[in-house]
Amino acid sequence: MSSKIIAGRYELLEKIGDGGMAVVYKARCRLLNRYVAVKILKPEFVNDAKFLENFRKESHAAASLSHPNIVNVYDVGKEGNINYIVMELVTGKPLSEIIKEEAPMDYKRVVALTRQIALGLSVAHKHNIIHRDVKPHNILVTEEGVAKITDFGIAKAVKTTTIVDQTAEAIMGSVHYFSPEQARGGYVDEKSDIYSLGIVMYEMLTGKVPFDGDNPVGVALKHINEEMIPPSALVGGIPPRIEQIVMKATNKIQSARFATADEMIKELDNIEFVTRIVGNSSLHGWDPNTGNDGKTPDKDSAGTDSQEDTGKKKNKKKMILLFSIVALLLIAGFVAAGFATGILGGSSVEVPDLRGMTLEKAEAALNKVDLKIAEGDLVFSSKYDLGEVVSSNPANGSQVKRNSTVVVNICKGAEAGTVPNLVGKKLSEAKDLIEKYGFKLGNVETEVSSEPKDTVTAQSPEGGDETTPGDYINVTVSDGTGKEEVAVPYLIGKDVEVAKQLIKDAGFVVGEVAYGDSNEYDLGQVIKQQYDSGFMLAKGSSIDIKVCGGSGPSVISFDISYDDAKSEVFYLTVVVSDSDGTRTPISREQRHKSDGSGTVEVEGVGTGTVTVLFDDVVVLTKKVEF
C-alpha cells in the first residue's frame, strides 16, 4: 500500500475504515511530513455527475470550517477517477463504539458530548452548511474526550438522492437517525440536524435507538408516524430535564424543535448551571423532608447537640427554599414548552393554499400551521411549472386537525412527453418509470462498469428532454464487473513518441501534451507524467504528459468571421497563451465588418489557447497545437 501515492503527495499507508460510500486510509503527507486521513469515494459513485458536483461543492465548503468539534478538512481533489478528501487524523473511537461498550451512559457525559456536537453543528449552520447525516458513526471521540463531527461533504451529496435509491447498507447506517422530513424526502434545514442529534442523545442515554425495524423504509415510516417512547421508560434514573431536551429536539414538527443549535446548547448549559448550584437534587428525586436524595440521615446514638440540630434545620430550610425556586422555574419552562409545541392545544387549522409552491416551500408553509406533508402523484399541468404543487388533499381552505398530513400532487411537465431521468436506477425500476410516463423501453445495451449490475448508466433521449408519447427510450446498463486496473508505465526521460506508444500499449489514452523547459532532460523527452509509474489506473483513462522544449515555435493561421462584430468599424485583438506565457500579437487593429472575414497568423509552442476579441468582447476561444 505504501507505493500508492495520491496527487504526488499523500502516501497511503493502511486502510482504517470502510463505509457505504468511501474507504478511509491512514496516510502521510510528504509535503508537510504529517499523518492525515484520506477518504476515497467508492467507484460506484464516480460516474454520478450530480453526486460528484455536490460532493465537491460541499467538501470545499466543509474545508472552510475550523472548530475543535469538527474534523478539519485539509484538501479536496480528484486524480484520474479517484475523488478524495484529506482530513485531520483523529486518534480515538467513533461514538458508535463507545455507545456499544458503555451505554446506557452517565447523563453528565451525555450532556458533555451532546454539547460539543451541538457546538460543531452551530458553526456549520452559521456557514449555511447542513450536515444531514448526524449519527454516532460520524462522530469521533478523541482519547481526551473531545467529540469531533466528520463527513460533512459526503452527507449532503448522498442526500440529494432519495432514500430508496441508496444501498441497504448505506440506508441502515443512517435511517435510524433521519428526521421525519428527511424520511419523506422533504425540506431539510438545521433543525433536521438537531433532530438527529436528539436521537444520538437518546441512544447514549438508553443504549437503543427509538425506532427500529427489519427494513429501512419501515424505520423511516416510524419516524414519520409513530410516537417516541420516552427514554425514562427504558432506563431508570434519567433526569426529567434531560429527557425534556431529548423530546423537544426530536419533535416531529420542525418548528417545535430547538430553533438553533445554540438554543439547545443554552438548555444543556442550564442543566450544568443548576447542578452546580443545588447538585443532582435538581435533576433526581431530592427529598426536601430529609434534606438529601431521599435517604434518612443516620441518628447519633449518643444524641445530638441542640445547636448542631438547629443548624441542620436552618440548612434544610434554605435547601427547601432554593429547591422550590428552581422547581418553579423548571415547571414554568415545561409549561412554556408545552404551549410552544402545541401539546396544550389540539384545535383544528386551515390548510393553506400550496399551489405553485415547490415541495420545500409547501412543507415549510404546512409546518407553520402544525401540519405534515406527503407526496402524492406526479401530474401534467400547463398552469404550473415542473416540480410545483398542482393540488392538495385536503384542498386549500379545508379545516383539519393539527398534526394531520396533507398530500400534495406535483407537476411533472406542461404536457405528456417529458422523459424521466433513469440514470442510477435499476433496469426494472427504469422500465416501470418509462411505462408510467407513457413511453416504451427500446434497446438495452450493456457496458463494462463498476456500477451495480443492471444499473442504468446512460439513456437516450436524456432525462428532461421532450419527445412524443409512445416513443422508445434506449438505455445502457452496467455489467457490474468494473473496469480493469493496470499499472501506469514509467515515462520520464522517454522520447515523446515512445511515451505515447507506451501509454497506448498499457491500455490508456494519451491526454494533454504540454511543453516546458528542463535542465535535466533533452529536447523532446518527457519531464513530467500525470500519474506516478506503478499507480493502478482504470484502463481507458487518459494520461497527461509534459515534454521538454517541444518542437520549437511554429506558426499557425486560421480565418476569423466578422459576423459577430456589432459595428461596421471595430477593433480586433488576439491573445495567445502557451508554454511561453501569454502575449497579444494583435492589439486593437481596426477592421471592417463588410470585409466578411480575415486571416490571422499566430506563433507559439506546444499546446496553447487563442482568444479573439471584437471591441474588447470575447467572440472566440480556440485550443490549438503549435
Structure-block grid coordinates of residue 59: 467538501
What type of residue sits at position 63?
A: A
**pLDDT at 193 (0 to 100):** 92
- Phi/psi class of residue 195: alpha, beta or left (left: φ > 0; alpha: ψ in -120 to 50)? alpha
* pLDDT at res. 167: 37
Q: What is the pLDDT of residue 153?
A: 53
Question: Between these two residues, 480 and 416, which has the higher pLDDT value?
Answer: 480
Residues 6+ apart with CB under 8 A from 314: none
Pick the most confident of 21-30, 125-134, 245-254.
Answer: 245-254
Q: ω into residue 452 within 30 of 0, thus cis?
A: no
pLDDT for the residue 141? 92
pLDDT of residue 98: 93
- Count CA atoms closer than 13 A to 626's CA, side-chain side: 24
Catalytic residue, candidates 133, 151, 193, 370:
133
Q: Which of 17-26, 365-374, 440-449 has the lowest mean pLDDT?
A: 17-26
Please say whether the beta carbons of 264 and 245 come within 8 A: yes
Mean pLDDT of the chain: 78
For residue 294, what pLDDT is reported? Answer: 37
Residue 578 inside a domain? The answer is: yes
Domain interval for residue 536: 485-548
Mark out the alpha helices in 285-441 (DSSP H runs): 306-341, 359-368, 427-436
CATH number of the domain bearing residue 577? 2.60.40.10
pLDDT attached to residue 61: 66
Total Cβ atoms within 10 A of residue 551: 13
Q: Taking 60 as the threshold, does the pLDDT of residue 286 lie above it?
A: no
Q: From CA 37, how far away is CA 86, in angstroms rounded?
A: 6
Based on the domain organization, do 250 and 215 belong to the same domain?
yes
Average pLDDT over residues 221-228: 86
Report the alpha-carbon distance of residue 227 to residue 232 in Å, rounded.
14
Quote the CA–CA distance of 551 and 525 in Å, as a whole number.
11
CATH number at residue 503: 3.30.10.20
The residue out of 521, 548, 575 marking a domain boundary is: 548
User: 42 with 103, same domain?
Assistant: no
Grid cell at residue 372: 405534515
DSSP type of residue 441: E
> Is pLDDT above 60 for 229?
yes
Write down the pLDDT at residue 501.
92
Q: Are residues 578 and 536 in the same domain?
A: no
Q: Is residue 204 part of a domain?
A: yes
Q: What spatial distance separates the first Cα and last Cα of the chain, rounded to whole Å?
A: 41
Q: Residue 261: its pLDDT value, please?
A: 92
Distance of CA 21 to the CA centre of its chain: 11
For residues 43-69, average pLDDT: 71
Query: In the prediction, which pLDDT does 339 show?
Result: 40
Give me the pLDDT at residue 260, please: 92
Question: Span 43-70, mean pLDDT?
Answer: 72
34 and 139 in a single domain? The answer is no
Same-domain check for residues 334 and 232: yes
Residue 354: what pLDDT?
A: 92
Instruction: Decide: 311 and 360 in contact? Cβ < 8 Å.
Output: no
Q: Is residue 140 part of a domain?
A: yes
Judge whether residue 325 has pLDDT over 80: no
pLDDT confidence band for 320 (50 / 70 / 90)? low
Is the pLDDT assigned to residue 182 strictly greater than 50? yes
> How far apart are alpha carbons 5 and 28 in whole angstroms?
9
Looking at residue 159, its pLDDT comes to: 40
Q: Is residue 543 part of a domain?
A: yes
Nearest CA among 569, 578, 620 for reference residue 602:
578
Same domain, 163 and 42: no
pLDDT tens readout for residues 539-561? 888 898 988 875 456 788 888 99
Which of residues 515, 548, 581 is at a domain's end? Answer: 548
**pLDDT interval class at 32 (50, 70, 90):** confident
> What is the identity of the amino acid at 511?
G
**What percent of the chain is predicted at pLDDT more than 90?**
18
Q: Is residue 492 located within the same domain as residue 593?
A: no
Q: How many CB atoms lie within 10 A of CB 104?
A: 19
Residue 111 and residue 75 in one domain: no
Collapsing DSSP to helix, strand or coil, 592 comes out as strand
| Domain tally, the chain | 6
Q: pLDDT band at 163, cuts 50/70/90?
A: very low
127 and 251: one domain?
A: yes
Angstrom distance (rounded) from CA 526 to CA 513: 10
Highest mean pLDDT among 155-164, 256-265, 334-343, 518-527: 256-265
Do residue 85 and residue 98 come from a single domain? no
At residue 5 the predicted structure's pLDDT band, cuts being 50, 70 and 90, is confident
Q: Kindly report the CATH number assigned to the domain that includes residue 13.
A: 3.30.200.20
Alpha carbon distance 387, 101 (integer Å): 46
The C-alpha cell that represents 489 in the structure block = 508505465
Predicted confidence at residue 42, as pLDDT, reads: 78
Q: Is 69 exposed, middle or buried (0-12, 13-18, 19+ CB in 10 A)?
A: buried
Give CA–CA dist 386/390, Å, rounded. 10
pLDDT computed for residue 195 by the predictor: 94
**Domain membership flag for residue 301:** no
**Contact assessment for residue 94 and residue 140, using Cβ atoms and an 8 Å cutoff:** yes
Note the pLDDT tens digit of each residue in 105-139: 998 999 999 999 999 999 888 888 888 889 999 89
Q: Which residues make Cβ contacts (< 8 Å) with residue 538, sequence separation at least 6?
A: 80, 81, 483, 484, 485
What is the model's pLDDT at position 225?
85
Statement to judge: residues 105 and 250 lie in one domain: yes
More confident residue, 159 or 598: 598
Rounded CA-CA distance 262/260 in Å is: 5
pLDDT at 582 over 70: yes
Highest mean pLDDT among 17-26, 466-475, 519-528, 564-573: 564-573
User: Does position 95 have pLDDT exceeding 50, yes or no?
Assistant: yes
Based on the fold, state whether residues 503 and 404 are members of the same structural domain: no
Among 89, 104, 132, the domain boundary falls at 89
Asked if residues 182 and 132 have their Cβ atoms less than 8 Å apart, the reply is: yes
Query: Cell numbers 455536490 correspond to what residue?
Result: 54
323/514 Cα distance (integer angstroms) = 78
- Asked whether residue 592 carries a pLDDT value surpassing 60, the answer given is yes
353 belongs to a structural domain: yes
b/e map 526-542, b = 16+ CB within 10 Å: bbbbbbeeebebbeebe
Tell me if 207 is assigned to some domain: yes
Has this prediction a pTM greater than 0.85?
Answer: no
**pLDDT digits 0-9 by tens, 193-213:** 999 999 999 999 999 999 988
State the pLDDT at residue 290.
Answer: 34
Please tell me the distance from the alpha carbon of residue 255 to that of residue 311, in angstroms, as a whole number. 50
**Residue 308 within a domain:** no
133 has catalytic annotation = yes
Residue 277's pLDDT band, with cuts at 50, 70 and 90, is: very low
pLDDT tens, position by position, 408-443: 888 766 555 677 778 888 898 888 888 877 889 999
Determine which of 321-325, 359-363, 442-446 has the lowest per-residue pLDDT on average: 321-325
